[in-house]
Amino acid sequence: MYLKCSKRRKNGKEHRSWSIVENRRVAGGQSVQRHVLYLGEINDSQQEAWQKSIEVFTEGESEPRQVALFPEDRVGAASSVPQIQLKLSGLSLHRPRQWGACWLALELWRELGLDEFWRERLVESRKGTRWDLVLTTLSIYRWLDPGSEWRLHREWFERSALGDLLGGDYRLAADDTLYRCHDRLVEHKAALFTHLQERWRDLFNAQFDVLLYDLTSTYFESDPPEDPEGLRRFGYSRDKRSDCVQVVIALVVTPEGFPLGYEVLRGNTADNTTLAAMLEKIESQYGKAQRTWLMDRGIPTEEVLETMRTSTPPGRYLVGTPKGRLSKLEQDLAKLPWQEARPGVEVKLLPQEGELYVFAQSKDRIAKERGMRRRRLKKLWERLQSLQAQKLTYDELLMKLGAAKAEAGHCWRALEVTLPEPPAKVRRSKKVQPAGKRKKPQRALVTFQFRLDRARLRQMYRREGRYLLRSNLTETDPAALWQHYITLTQIEEAFKNLKGDLGVRPIFHQKDERIEAHIFVAFQAYCLHVTLGRRLHALAPGLTARAVLEKFASISLLDVHLPTTDHRTLLLTRHTQPDADTQLLLEKLKLQLPPQPPPKITAPTAP
């Protein structure tokens, strides 16, 4: 294996991304390259560390060793140790199950101290149910292979080695046990937030003075509940499923992606009504501190921002600003010079009434948004020309124009469309005509006119790739302000993981308590995901947690059965040896696989 560099030029700058590849010999004496790991853009020290690891690993490979067994027709030398004669011809393999990813998830679970945390709070029941191990099973399942609790009960638990690793049996995956475990979780939410904050501070020296806040929604494919105070409600759907009831999730994370807290809200909750309550929750949970809040436009209101400015200590914020305020400040901003915040990003700073307005433009973003607008506008123009050539009634024309407007999005504002007068209603005669003499009503065909609104197009052109930010950090460097704002992509990544990789959508729960508990389990799975991601970030920015899990999933656990000549069976539970890719990851993560379990032998049976 060796490091391979791929070069790409963008905007006159050369970007180098690194991967670990391996040469494999194939027929004909040729070799092909196998992609092992993608590392992304790594620095010189990271490159040197990976190169050293690969060299040490390659040199340390051991040759296969031959061992002597005692088959049934051979007896070993006399010894004080009891000897067992094996029937090698009867060797059989049983219950192959996924082990590597389960073991890695359990290691991270213990690294975060969640095993001890829940052992103290979820005590064993009178019937011997280990609720802490049931929760461990639910959380790891949600991270590795998310699905319903019923699927966990019927399929996944038997196909995984999590029961072997936890030292539990199938009682951990009993269907009623999985659902009843949800009823014991939410009351410990605040304590879990505090515990995780302390663990991340100890493990990664995490800082919690800059917080990102945003909201998302997740929908249900079910009938609306009868309870008017329930969580499931119709509302603005980020998933574009306005036909389904939903709940809203408010999440607070750090720029590194560590979640500090979340709340589950009713599905019809407006974004601008949530910030005040979240500020109060964070303050009561972690105490008063001078925190900086980063939010997108539409979340803060003027009243909440005023409360943040006058609080003790004053709250700091950096928020996006609606386009309407940009229209009011456009003349003042036009008089200011551009300042370079970083290569490719320029800003204008406008102090006003104790606040600082930051008007930023990104060259890459400008090129991207203008390209998108040109493609959409060209497609819309061609569609309208096609509609002009069609013979349509007034109602048909309105329907097709509506569909074209929905597909064009904001590009529709760059055109001025003139519709014809609606046709007069024709009164039908009450006199019944004979069937043979009835005349079909004539279709009133209409057309329309459209032209380019150049003033609106120039305004769109000026605002593409440009953002107006608002902050009370009046003495902060503009480059730092821009860097803070673009970290909002971390919370978008968190929502993507929750709704994609972790399957947070609780479509199988109907009770509000179970819905909140389901999201609580998904939150714990996301904490495992973030913890592994931060450990990998120091090694290579391009190495993702999901890619590492896929590598570890190649390690399986199986039961080896060897019959003996005295009608017993030697049981060997063994995990497969990691391949070269996984062994390299183990070394970089400073992890060591546990020793193989000791063999067992059954009692003799009658021949």
**Mean pLDDT of all residues in 168-197:** 90
- Both 326 and 181 in one domain: the answer is no
- Both 355 and 469 in one domain: the answer is yes
Q: Residue 112 carries which DSSP code? A: T
**Mean pLDDT of all residues in 156-172:** 89
Q: How confident is the model at residue 219 (pLDDT cuts 50, 70, 90)?
A: confident
Tell me the C-alpha distance between 465 and 594, whole Å: 52
Q: Is residue 227 one of the residues assigned to a domain?
A: no
Lowest mean pLDDT among 311-315, 370-374, 482-486: 482-486
Backbone angles phi, psi at 501, to 5 degrees: -60, -35
- Both 337 and 453 in one domain: the answer is yes
Query: What is the percentage of the chain residues whose pLDDT exceeds 90?
Result: 23
Burial class (CB in 10 A: 0-12, 13-18, 19+), 398: middle
Whole-number pLDDT of residue 55: 56
Question: How does pLDDT run across 108-147, given as a tens digit for each residue?
Answer: 999 999 999 999 999 988 888 899 999 999 999 999 988 8
Q: Is residue 378 one of the residues assigned to a domain?
A: yes
Whole-number pLDDT of residue 58: 43
Lowest mean pLDDT among 143-157, 257-271, 417-431, 561-575: 417-431
Whole-number pLDDT of residue 81: 47
Would the pLDDT of 187 be above 90?
A: yes
What residue numbers bound the domain in which 335 lies? 321-419+445-475
Q: Is residue 581 one of the residues assigned to a domain?
A: no
- Both 359 and 469 in one domain: the answer is yes
Whole-number pLDDT of residue 69: 38
- Domain boundary among the residues 427, 455, 475 is at 475
CB 439 within 8 A of CB 429: no
Q: How confident is the model at residue 504 (pLDDT cuts 50, 70, 90)?
A: low
Q: How confident is the model at residue 169 (pLDDT cuts 50, 70, 90)?
A: confident
Q: Is residue 130 one of the residues assigned to a domain?
A: yes
Whole-number pLDDT of residue 161: 92
- Both 341 and 410 in one domain: the answer is yes
- Both 131 and 15 in one domain: the answer is no
Question: How does pLDDT run across 58-91, given as a tens digit for each residue?
Answer: 444 444 333 333 445 545 444 444 566 777 778 8
Q: Is residue 306 one of the residues assigned to a domain?
A: no
Cβ neighbour number for residue 210 with a 10 Å cutoff: 16
Tell me the C-alpha distance between 3 and 563, whole Å: 47
- Both 5 and 112 in one domain: the answer is no
Instruction: Give the number of domains in the chain.
Output: 3
Q: Average pLDDT over the chain, rounded to whole? A: 82
Q: Is residue 164 one of the residues assigned to a domain?
A: yes
- Both 327 and 471 in one domain: the answer is yes
- Give the torsion sign (CA, 259, 533, 555, 84): negative
Tokens representing residue 363 in the block: 């060259």
Whole-number pLDDT of residue 459: 87
pTM as predicted: 0.80
- Both 454 and 349 in one domain: the answer is yes
Whole-number pLDDT of residue 26: 52
Q: In sequence order, which residues have a C-beta less than 8 Å from that of residue 60 and are 6 or more positions away? A: none
- Both 330 and 456 in one domain: the answer is yes
Q: How confident is the model at residue 554 (pLDDT cuts 50, 70, 90)?
A: very high
Q: Is residue 514 one of the residues assigned to a domain?
A: no
Whole-number pLDDT of residue 60: 44
Angle at 73 between CA 72 and CA 76, to 5 degrees: 85
Would the pLDDT of 166 be above 70?
A: yes
- The more confidently predicted of residues 478 and 568 is 568
Question: How does pLDDT run across 580-602, given as a tens digit for each residue?
Answer: 888 989 998 999 999 888 888 77
Would the pLDDT of 560 be above 90?
A: no
Would the pLDDT of 576 be above 60?
A: yes
Q: How far are the Cα atoms of 243, 304, 306, 350, 474 from residue 353, in angstroms, in the given order?
A: 44, 16, 12, 10, 11
Q: How confident is the model at residue 524 (pLDDT cuts 50, 70, 90)?
A: very high
Q: How confident is the model at residue 364 (pLDDT cuts 50, 70, 90)?
A: confident
Q: How confident is the model at residue 342 (pLDDT cuts 50, 70, 90)?
A: confident
Lowest mean pLDDT among 11-25, 143-157, 507-521: 11-25
Tell me the C-alpha distance between 574 and 555, whole Å: 10
Q: Is residue 27 one of the residues assigned to a domain?
A: yes
- Both 454 and 333 in one domain: the answer is yes
Q: How far are the Cα atoms of 16, 86, 89, 602 from residue 74, in angstroms, in the given order?
A: 61, 10, 14, 22
Whole-number pLDDT of residue 50: 63
Which amino acid makes up residue 276?
Answer: A
- Both 43 and 125 in one domain: the answer is no
Would the pLDDT of 470 be above 70?
A: yes
- Domain boundary among the residues 526, 550, 574 is at 550
